[in-house]
Amino acid sequence: MNKMMSVFCLLLLMTITAGVNSQVTGSLTYLNFDDDADFDAVAGSVGYRFEELDNFFLIPELRGGLGVGSERIPSITIEEVTLELDRFIGVGNRAQYEFGNGVYLFAAVSYINYRFKEQITPLEGAPTSRTDSSWEWGVGGGLGFQLTDMLGAEGSWERVDGADLFTAGLRIRF
């Protein structure tokens, strides 16, 4: 994970420094991954706005995030099972339409690698843990409002492999 996060941070830094007075955009969001268990995460993205038509943009972006907290699953035969979203990293593309009053709508598609950790603590003996990661496609959309020329607030919903992903956060234009 450290290598992936290092690459993500390096790409973020390179894009920010190269994007002064350009169409570089980024986000900082809090998300809830609602599957059989609920997982929370903090996430970030960095992308570039390509204006295709008046007020219509395509925004390819890099995404990454870290899980926050864990979910305990009740068990009859095992003392405790704990699941957590460890991290995710991937790419996405947004199609965004901006209205003249600061409101914008977007639809997005993504391809992201999610890594989950599971820890089993038996009634007797040492706990065991394992990790599982997979690449998943997602599709969704959202609504935002441009608070200033550089800062917007947005919320979104995304469907990923049968699970719902809800986000709320800030979008920054550099």
Topology (CATH) of 2-173: Porin (2.40.160)
Q: Which residues contact 31 (CB under 8 A, 6 or more apart)?
A: 40, 41, 42, 43, 65, 165, 166, 167, 168, 169
pLDDT, one tens digit per residue, over 85-138 is 899 999 999 999 999 999 999 999 999 999 999 888 877 778 888 899 999 999
Query: Where residue 2 falls among pLDDT bands split at 50, 70, 90?
Result: low
State yes or no: pLDDT of 139 exceeds 50.
yes
Q: How many CB atoms lie within 10 A of CB 42?
A: 14
Domain boundaries, the chain: 2-173
